[in-house]
Amino acid sequence: MNSTLGYGLILAGLACAGFGAVVGIATGMAGRISGLAWVRRAVVGFFVCMVAANLLMVFALLTHDFSVKYVAHVGSRSTPTVFTVVSLWSALEGSILFWGAILGAYVLAFSVAFRKEQSRYVSLALGMMMAVGVFFAFLIAGPANPWTPMSPVPLDGPGPNPLLQNHILMVVHPPMLYCGYVGMVVPFGIATAALLGGQLGEAWTGSLRRWTLIPWTFLSVGIILGSWWAYAVLGWGGYWAWDPVENASFLPWLTATAFIHSTMVHERRKTLKLWTLSLVLATFLLTILGTFMTRSGIFNSVHSFTQSDIGPTFLSFIAILLVFSIALLSARGHLLIPEGQIQSPLSRESAILVNNLLFVGVTFTVLLGTLFPLVTEAVKGVRISVGEPYFNKMSVPGGLAILFLMGVGPALPWGEADRRLIGKQLLIPLATAAAVLAVCLALGLRGVLPLLTFALGGFVAAINIRELVVPARIRISQHGEAPWTALFRSASRARRRFGGYVVHLGMVVILVAIAASHSYVTRTSGTVRIGSALKVGDYQVKLLGFDEGVEPHRTWRAAKMELVGSGEVLRPRMNFFERSTDPIGTPAVKSTPLGDLYLSLMALSEDGQSATLNAWVFPLVGWIWWSIPILVAGALIAMWPQRQSRRAMAPAIGAAASSSSKLRETA
């Protein structure tokens, strides 16, 4: 019953999406808004069908209805409830179903946000987003169907992958990532609508930016949470392995970040239009490519699923999107001719242009490295690996250059810069950098790359903090406001700017933490008997004994390690799941603001008298996860809508074709 109902909902969703796509695009291209009301209804219908299908699947999982193929595939009576719900997105078919629901939610949100807007552009945008919805609904109905009825009905299932039941982060990381990934459909819809409609109005570039910032925030949080999960769960002491699927999530983040900067130049100078639009289209394409990489089974990855029919279907969609994007950009080339010009190399515009290039360079590097094993296999028939050493080597220079630009960009003004003035303004930041370097050298830290990162971090932080504080200082001196009020008001008056600089500060924290935890890590491994201690860095851990436990879905053994000096007991453990022959370790981590002590249990002796451990001290690694509030705060400030309408803004050209509308930036 669940199967039929679920499948029916998917087919209904496919019908709604198809209807919405056809009507939206057809009427939008013809310049009419007659179909808009129906398109909006189709969007609501798609949303309702998708969400209902997801809820039904969760219901089937919770009631252990093994007559549904997906439940038989990932469900199990012995899995704890929270992980049963999580198994909705833990395997291939369920994750595509989940994708459909989030897609429906985003498109509905866009439709609601622009509910007062009656323009062909909304029609086109919704139509394009529904077209993407058609693809995913088709996938769920066809190659990735989770609803196939099982016969005979099994009594129990194998349960989700044990790795996914080990930690609570698994509950949060995928939804965050999906909200980021899927959300990129909206900017895609807006951009293609503007291009198809033939006009790139200012209001649309504003919406484009805001509707990219929302998924960007989710994506950033999702990626960081993912690396936190890898760190806290997998026990190898790393948080980023340059795994193909990790790279797949990183690529659209890179182009989205580049877009967020490029669009500033687009709005102010009416140039870099081709860059900006290409970056938006590329971001969406990369999300689809990323989904393909995860689900096609042609990549060797921790996340990969087995090969299925889904791969060729996805690849066809990618090919169609590529053809469509190139055709659209070249057909509408006349819209992308710059109206302004970058006046001088020493200006914020050119800094952003260089920034664009660097981001595209890093994106290209990561993409090439991830795909290269496929290239050599196709060309030479030889299998090679492109792993961490390559990516670390190739991304460090680009990363440092981008860090440098994060400081120089805000320091440079729009237009042309006076060299002397810039020189004067950079004095304090350079002094800060030198001071940071001196302190590090005094502390005994060595190594060109980490010291350079720290110095640049100081430089960038100084510039960004000054840019945040100076407007407040002016308000204090001119309006006599109290400091916090002044800060708040100055932020509120210039949200994009303030939020952007806060995000820059968050990124500095991340890059400094990465440099520190990578370059100054201490590692020891050894076998200790009960009563003896292992020394790692400044810590000593003594083996007290062992703990054991049995849970419905796993059994575990832990080593009780006492931290000599503080008496704290850490319990790194090995979890044994039914489905796998190798145990999955859970490391024990002691976090302090200055670094983490990380213990991973590698082996237990048969006589129960000794344990083999890997131990690390990672300086500053916790700062990576603690930057999440900074990034989120900055992004929220930047995207917070202004209450008063922007009278200074020229009326949206995009609305010219339709009836007049007061275009507010409500979205």
Partner 1 sequence: MSWRWSVLLAAAACTALVVILAKGFGKDPHQVPFMLAGKPAPAFSLQKLDGSGKVTLSELKGHPVVINFWATWCGPCKVEHPVLDWGYRQYGRQAEFLGVVFEDTVENSRAFLKQSPTPFPQLVDPQSQTAVDYGVAGVPETYFIDAQGTIRGKHVGPLSLDALTARIKDLVQPVAQAR
Partner 2 sequence: MGSALPLAILLSTALADFAPQQAGSEPLEPALEARVQRLGKQLRCAVCQGLSISDSPASMARAQLDKVRAMVSEGKSDEEIRDYFVARYGEWVLLQPEAHGVNWLVWLGPVALLLIGFAVIARQLQKKPAAAPQASTEQQAKRPVQAPGDEDEYLARVRAELDR
By CB under 8 A, which span of 26-34, 368-376, 446-454, 500-508 interacts with partner 1? 368-376
Q: Which of 2, 148, 425, 661 binds partner 2 (CB under 8 A)?
A: 425
Residues 559-578 that bind partner 2 (CB under 8 A): 574, 576
By CB under 8 A, which span of 125-133, 140-148, 169-177, 418-426 interacts with partner 2? 418-426
- Amino acid 529 reads R
For 262-413, strand residue ranges (E) read none
Minimum distance of partner 2 from residue 254's CB (angstroms): 13
Minimum distance of partner 2 from residue 602's CB (angstroms): 6
Decide: is 169 part of the binding site for partner 2 (CB under 8 A). Answer: no
Decide: is 235 part of the binding site for partner 2 (CB under 8 A). Answer: yes
Give the x-and-dash track for 195-224 against partner 2 (CB under 8 A): -------x---x------------------
- What's the residue count for the chain? 667
- 513, 621 in Cβ contact below 8 A? yes
By CB under 8 A, which span of 66-74, 238-246, 451-459, 624-632 interacts with partner 2? 238-246
Half-sphere exposure of 206 (CA within 13 A, CB side): 20
Decide: is 446 part of the binding site for partner 2 (CB under 8 A). Answer: no
Listed residue (85, 88, 114, 113) closest to 101, CA to CA = 88
Half-sphere exposure of 91 (CA within 13 A, CB side): 25
User: How far, in Å, CA of 16 to CA of 41, rounded?
Assistant: 9
In the chain the first and final C-alpha atoms are separated, in Å, by 41
242: left (phi over 0), alpha (psi -120 to 50) or beta: left
Q: What, of partner 1, partner 2, none, does residue 333 touch, CB below 5 to 8 Å by kind?
A: partner 1
Q: What, of partner 1, partner 2, none, does residue 237 touch, CB below 5 to 8 Å by kind?
A: partner 2
The two tokens of residue 662 are: 């007061």
The two tokens of residue 105 are: 């939610």
Minimum distance of partner 2 from residue 291's CB (angstroms): 19
User: How far, in Å, CA of 142 to CA of 140, rounded?
Assistant: 6
Q: What, of partner 1, partner 2, none, does residue 393 touch, CB below 5 to 8 Å by kind?
A: partner 2
Minimum distance of partner 1 from residue 315's CB (angstroms): 6
Minimum distance of partner 1 from residue 347's CB (angstroms): 24
Decide: is 311 part of the binding site for partner 1 (CB under 8 A). Answer: yes
Decide: is 322 part of the binding site for partner 1 (CB under 8 A). Answer: yes
The two tokens of residue 453 are: 């990162």
- Amino acid 227 reads S
DSSP 303: T
Decide: is 374 part of the binding site for partner 1 (CB under 8 A). Answer: yes
Sequence-ordered list of residues with C-beta below 8 angstroms from that of 391, at least 6 positions apart, any chain:
242, 247, 365, 366, 369
Q: What, of partner 2, partner 1, none, does residue 574 touch, CB below 5 to 8 Å by kind?
A: partner 2
Residues 483-502 that bind partner 2 (CB under 8 A): 493-497
Report residue 657 CA to chain centroid gap.
36
The residue (of 115 and 662) whose beta carbon lies closer to partner 2 is: 662
Residues 512-541 that bind partner 1 (CB under 8 A): none
Minimum distance of partner 1 from residue 580's CB (angstroms): 10
For the CA atoms of 633, 638, 643, 649, what is the dihedral angle to 10 degrees? 180
By CB under 8 A, which span of 72-80, 89-97, 361-369, 453-461 interacts with partner 2? 361-369
The residue (of 574 and 599) whose beta carbon lies closer to partner 1 is: 574
Other CB atoms within a 10 A radius of the CB of residue 359 amount to 23
Q: What, of partner 2, partner 1, none, does residue 297 touch, CB below 5 to 8 Å by kind?
A: partner 1
The residue (of 84 and 296) whose beta carbon lies closer to partner 1 is: 296
How far are the Cα atoms of 6, 13, 137, 653 from residue 141, in angstroms, in the given order?
A: 10, 10, 6, 40
How far are the Cα atoms of 526, 542, 574, 586 from residue 529, in angstroms, in the given order?
A: 10, 9, 18, 20
**For the residues of 253-275, what is the DSSP string, one character each?**
HHHHHHHHHHHHHHHHHS--HHH
In three-state form (DSSP H/G/I as H, E/B as E, the rest C), the secondary structure along 99-138 is HHHHHHHHHHHHHHHCCCCCCHHHHHHHHHHHHHHHHHHH
Report residue 160 CA to chain centroid gap.
24
Q: Which of 300, 307, 532, 645 binds partner 2 (CB under 8 A)?
A: 300
The two tokens of residue 557 are: 């053994």
Decide: is 660 part of the binding site for partner 1 (CB under 8 A). Answer: no
Give the x-and-dash track for 365-384 against partner 2 (CB under 8 A): x--xx--x--xx--xx-xxx
Q: Which of 34, 307, 341, 532 binds partner 1 (CB under 8 A)?
A: 307
Decide: is 315 part of the binding site for partner 1 (CB under 8 A). Answer: yes
Minimum distance of partner 2 from residue 73's CB (angstroms): 21
How many positions of this chain bind partner 2 (CB under 8 A)?
A: 92
Residue with tokens 């007290």: 544
Residues 8-67 that bind partner 1 (CB under 8 A): none
Give the x-and-dash track for 274-303 against partner 1 (CB under 8 A): ------------------x---xxxxx---
Decide: is 656 part of the binding site for partner 1 (CB under 8 A). Answer: no
By CB under 8 A, which span of 76-84, 167-175, 455-463, 598-606 interacts with partner 2? 598-606
How far are the Cα atoms of 428, 466, 468, 497, 650 from residue 477, in angstroms, in the given order?
A: 22, 16, 15, 21, 33
Handedness of CA 268, 274, 275, 277 (dihedral sign): positive
How far are the Cα atoms of 205, 480, 653 from residue 210, in angstroms, in the given order?
A: 9, 33, 19
DSSP 174: H
Q: What, of partner 2, partner 1, none, does residue 385 touch, CB below 5 to 8 Å by kind?
A: partner 2
User: How far, in Å, CA of 509 to CA of 457, rounded?
Assistant: 8
By CB under 8 A, which span of 108-116, 309-317, 340-348, 591-599 interacts with partner 1? 309-317
Decide: is 361 part of the binding site for partner 2 (CB under 8 A). Answer: yes
Q: What, of partner 1, partner 2, none, does residue 526 touch, CB below 5 to 8 Å by kind?
A: partner 2
Decide: is 603 part of the binding site for partner 2 (CB under 8 A). Answer: yes
By CB under 8 A, which span of 106-114, 171-179, 308-316, 614-622 interacts with partner 1? 308-316
How many positions of this chain bind partner 1 (CB under 8 A)?
A: 27
By CB under 8 A, which span of 214-222, 233-241, 316-324, 595-603 interacts with partner 1? 316-324
For residue 230, report the phi and psi dihedrals to the nearest 5 degrees: -60, -40
The two tokens of residue 100 are: 């459909």
Decide: is 296 part of the binding site for partner 2 (CB under 8 A). Answer: no
Minimum distance of partner 1 from residue 300's CB (angstroms): 4
DSSP 162: G
The residue (of 141 and 357) whose beta carbon lies closer to partner 2 is: 357
Other CB atoms within a 10 A radius of the CB of residue 22 amount to 17
What residues make contact with partner 1 under the rule CB under 8 A?
A: 292, 296-300, 304, 307, 311-312, 315, 318-319, 322-323, 326, 330, 333, 371, 374-375, 377-378, 382-383, 581, 606
